[in-house]
Amino acid sequence: MTDIPMTEKHSTNIPTPGTPPPKDALTKSFTKLVEVVAQLRSPDGCPWDRQQTLESIKPYTLEETYELLEAIDSGDDRAIVEELGDVLLQVILDAQIAADDQRFDLVKVIERITTKMIDRHPHVFGTEKAETAQDVHKLWDHAKKKEKKRNSLMDGIPVALPQLARCHQLSKKAARVGYDWPQRNMLFDKLREELDELAAELFPGGNLPEIKATVESEIVPDEPMTDPQLKKNAQGEIGDLLFVVANIDRRWGIDPEEALRSSNRKFEKRFQAIERGLEEQGTNIQSATLIEMEELYQQAKRNEK
């Protein structure tokens, strides 16, 4: 077999992993975006952009982040590119707002994150050794504790995170120092325990009702929980139950937010199939029976397979 000349070997369009974009193209594109944002904030710019503050822009930052997650879930590269651009815009706009308020600028933001990435990866940019992901976690936690002068391993997990995701992060941090069940299968015993404790709050004698889940049953309206203490206790037990579920996710390497997002999408898609099916039958969803809706739901479920 004839050897391929080195020049031809490297003429492929497949980039080497870890290769940044061409410097000239990156500089030109990034500078242009920064200039556009600055012009929008200028006295002759956009009235809406000029009146924004770091506080007022927060909801848009969160919204764009969720839209990026949705685009990634879709697998549509065109959508991902667009949503990544929107997230990048939020960062640049936030920095420009701060610069206009004489607080800090985009250069400071870039310098800080660059320094942070170098400091937190001493096994790449320094002399430390890290053979496994667990070794990397230890180096990362040590660097963060040193940077932020944290007193607790639990410090630094944002309170504003969705609580299921925060639960995942709390237990993951505890597990890094060995505070975890020795075997992940033990979590199902904890799940049963928490379910029993919830049943003790909700049902006389603490026994879960043995009733088959079927739509072909008499509809019994929910009774409101009027006892404040009972409601508080039940809420606590449901929280404990969800905490165990999040730990099951973690021990099997599953993100609970992703798992729930997937189930939400699945339910939404199937419910929309109910609406379409009823419309095709000339039936209003407000007047449809539970049995009719469930039949269409199960049909949509079967169609997925």
| pLDDT tens profile 104-155 | 999 999 999 999 899 888 888 888 888 888 788 777 777 776 766 677 888 8
DSSP run (H or E) holding 7: helix 6-9
Kindly give, in sequence order, each residue whose CB lies less than 8 Å from that of residue 197, ignoring residues fewer than 6 positions away.
237, 240
CA 135 to chain CA mean position, Å: 24
Task: Kindly indicate the confidence band of residue 1, based on its pLDDT and cuts at 50, 70 and 90.
Answer: very low
Q: What angle do CA 210, 164, 214 make, to 5 degrees?
A: 25
Instruction: For the chain, give the percent of residues with pLDDT over 70.
Output: 94
Do residues 48 and 57 make contact, with C-beta atoms less than 8 angstroms apart? no
Q: Which has the closest alpha carbon to 53: 88, 92, 89, 101? A: 101
* Residue 256 near residue 168, CB atoms below 8 Å: yes
Q: What is the CA radius of gyration of the chain?
A: 27
Residue 2 has what pLDDT? 38
Closest alpha carbon to 261 in 62, 73, 19: 73
Residues 69-80 have a mean pLDDT of 92
Burial of residue 66 (number of CB atoms within 10 Å: 0-12, 13-18, 19+): exposed
Percent of the chain whose predicted confidence (pLDDT) is above 90? 63
CB atoms near residue 277 (< 10 Å): 19
As a whole number of angstroms, the distance between CA 90 and CA 57 comes to 8
- What pLDDT does 235 receive? 95
Q: How many residues does the chain have?
A: 305
Q: How far apart are CA 140 and CA 120, in angstroms?
A: 5
Would you state the pLDDT for residue 4?
39
Buried b (16+ CB within 10 A) or exposed e, 250-268: bbeeeebbeebeeeeeeee
Lowest mean pLDDT among 128-137, 195-204, 242-251: 128-137
138, two tokens: 């230890």
Residue 13, pLDDT above cutoff 70: no
List the structure tokens of 189. Answer: 């015993």
Q: What is the pLDDT of residue 267?
A: 95
Taking all residues of the chain, what is their mean pLDDT, rounded to a whole number?
89
Backbone angles phi, psi at 45, to 5 degrees: -90, -145
Residue 122: CB partners within 8 Å, gap ≥ 6? 128, 139, 143
Residue of higher predicted confidence among 96 and 165: 96
Residue 269 has pLDDT above 70, yes or no: yes
Q: Hey, what are 186's tokens? A: 């033990």
Identify the CA nearest to 274 among candidates 238, 300, 241, 302: 300
pLDDT given for residue 305 in this prediction: 79
The number of C-alpha atoms within 13 Å of 120 and in the hemisphere containing its C-beta is 13
User: What kind of fold does domain 23-119 have according to CATH?
Assistant: Helix Hairpins (1.10.287)
Compute the C-alpha angle 120/93/31, nearest 5°.
Answer: 80
Pairwise pLDDT comparison (98 vs 7), residue with the higher score: 98
Whole-angstrom distance, CA of residue 67 vs CA of residue 72 = 9
* pLDDT for position 104: 96
**CA distance linking residue 176 with residue 135, whole number of Å:** 10
Q: Where are the domains of the chain?
A: 23-119, 259-304
Tokens 């029976």 belong to residue:
289
